[in-house]
Copies of this chain bind each other. A is one copy, B any other.
């Protein structure tokens, strides 16, 4: 399995998860910053290896085998991210690019031992769940903050946009995973929210709210 193949499987997994239907060639090309024709070529290859199902012009879905590989890459990526943050004191906005490389290191034993060193974490630094060794994903009942009713309280459990830009913005505003957030008011006009986060009152934009996951409590 080449790095490129692994990257395609990972991307198809992520896109498929979001849409819950066959993934379009163009969507993959956009996501991977490559050309649709390159995607078609790779799909053909993955299809021959029985890693994806593909009918011409109909998009792709991962086969069971393909899903297994994708989840193992995602597992590695997220475990390495935890390592970088917990053991090497990287900040959460710096780890993605490095984990993007580390996820392709081939050694099951290495990942088992890394998992143990990190004490079997269930989530990565952005709140994304870490697939288990046998490819199971913990599904939590988290919701986007902009979809929560006024008056409800939740704990910030993850980010939808994990770009460095957004993460730095959250740092600057002292918004972190684990923070308790109560929605005090919603502005119809622009979707902005008035929230109580820990002991502070603040206003956040609709864009920001739509990129924060919370798990409701009480």
Contacts and interface: CB of A to CB of B under 8 A. Distances in A.
Copies in the complex: 2
A183 to B, nearest CB: 38
- 6 smallest beta-carbon distances between A and B, as pairs: A88-B113, A101-B105, A98-B107, A98-B110, A88-B117, A102-B105
A114 interface: yes
Interface residues of A, number: 18
Given A88-B117, A97-B107, A101-B105, 8 more contacts: A84-B110, A87-B87, A88-B110, A98-B107, A98-B110, A101-B106, A101-B107, A102-B105
Interface in A69-107: 84, 87-90, 94, 97-98, 101-102, 105-107
A64 to B, nearest CB: 27
Contacts of A97: 107
A111 to B, nearest CB: 10
Contacts of A110: 84, 88, 98
